Each structure stands twice: as structure tokens, then as C-alpha cells.
Chain A
Amino acid sequence: GAVVSQHPSRVICKSGTSVKIECRSLDFQATTMFWYRQFPKQSLMLMATSNEGSKATYEQGVEKDKFLINHASLTLSTLTVTSAHPEDSSFYICSGTSASGGADTQYFGPGTRLTVL
């Protein structure tokens, strides 16, 4: 299957700082990438949809000025959490879409655990 990587795998930062998370599709080109977050004991919640070369589409309730998404190439998308606060502590997961077998499938990265002190 297609492989998606994320970097870093975990990060601890101080309140008020910004954190950048990278998501790369290693062996396929992802025209669309998605960013999710997952709080403890909860399911994944979509944050935004990102198409290469265009502005991301954010889900209701997700602040676009706080969660900056850049999808500059077909293999790289970045999520920057600006002025992070403890309530932003979560598990952030990206995914990319690959067309295969007659229906496109989303492949997910391993996730980035963000802890804001």
C-alpha cells in the first residue's frame, strides 16, 4: 500500500509558540491531503482538506488563522499550529489520496502527538 510519513512523531512545546508538522506521501502523488486531530478516547475529526496549489478548506469550528496549512507540492503538506495553547494538545494525523484498484483510497500517516505545556 501507499506510504505516508509525518514529522515529527511527537513534539512538546511551550504555550504561545508555533509548531510545524510535515506530511509526506512517499510513493505516490497526493492531489488531496487531509488533516485530522484526535483527542484521547475519541475518534478522528477532520480539520481541513488541502488541494495542491490552492487554499485549504476548513471544517466548521476550525480556525484557519490558527491552523495554517500549506500544500505546495503533490507529496508534501504542512500544518502549522500557531500560538499553541494547552487545549491544542492532541494527536494530529494527515492522509493522502491515491487512486488505485478502481476507487481512490486514503492512506494515513502515523500521527504526530503534540503536547503544549
Chain B
Amino acid sequence: DAKTTQPTSMDCAEGRAANLPCNHSTISGNEYVYWYRQIHSQGPQYIIHGLKNNETNEMASLIITEDRKSSTLILPHATLRDTAVYYCIVRPYSTHNDMRFGAGTRLTVKP
């Protein structure tokens, strides 16, 4: 049973903002939203996480709706190196909980 729903693929023009949506309508109150990405033949790279407030770091911004049923990862100025599979994961806060990966969104940044 998938906890998140993401589009299979998206394209974005280089230099433009990439907005990747994620639906998590069954999210529980103690679950965080995590975003990772995986560039071909590499391990997943942590991007950002949040509980209910919007978050921003040097890589991206995370916008979580007020009802927490969906979120959007924003890469403000996409580059060719941002081409990857992006995974949205919901998970309780605990050091013992693993990350369960769905199919993710394959983002292709085009020149």
C-alpha cells in the first residue's frame, strides 16, 4: 500500500524552477515528509524534510499544505545535474524506521 503518489516523470528547462508534487493523503500526525533523489548508479541523496512548516535549505524548498495531505519540492534553478529520480517518503520520526521507496518521479532537466 503506497503511502505517497508521485507523477512518473517530469521535464524541466534548465534554469527554470522544478516543482515536484507528492500526494500523501493518509499521512499520520507523527510522520515527516522526506525527499531524496537518486542520480543514475548512485546511492540516494538526502534533500530535505519537514513536518508541517515549509522548509528551505541550500538545495531546495519544501512546501507542505496546511492539511499535510500533499507537498511540493521546489528546485529553484534547475541544472542538468539535477536530472534524477526524486522520491517523496513519509515516515515517523524514529531512528529505527527505514525509508520505504516508491517509484518516484524521474525529472529530466533539458538544456
Interface residues of A (CB under 8 A from B): 1, 4, 6, 31-32, 34, 36, 43-46, 49, 51, 91, 93, 95, 97, 99, 103-111, 113
Instruction: Report how many A-B pairs have Cβ atoms within 8 Å.
Output: 59
| B42 in contact with A103 (CB, 8 Å) | no
Among the listed A32, A93, A103, which residue makes an inter-chain contact with B43, where contact means beta carbons less than 8 Å apart? A93
Let me know if B95 and A104 touch, CB within 8 A. Answer: yes
Q: Are A106 and B51 interface neighbours, CB within 8 A?
A: no
Q: Given that A99-B95, A105-B49 are known contacts, is A91 also in contact with B41, CB under 8 Å in the complex?
A: yes
Q: Are A51 and B104 in contact (CB under 8 A)?
A: no
Query: A46–B91 Cα gap in the complex (Å)?
Result: 14
Q: What class of interface size applies to chain B in its complex with A?
A: 20 to 34
Query: Which residue numbers of B lie inside 8 Å of A, CB to CB?
Result: 32, 34, 36, 38, 41-46, 49, 51, 87, 93-96, 98-104
Measured CB to CB, the nearest residue on chain A to B42 is: A110
Cβ-defined contact, A31 with B98, below 8 A: no
Q: Chain B: which residue is nearest A111 at the CB level?
A: B43
Q: Which residues of A contact B34 (CB under 8 A)?
A: 105
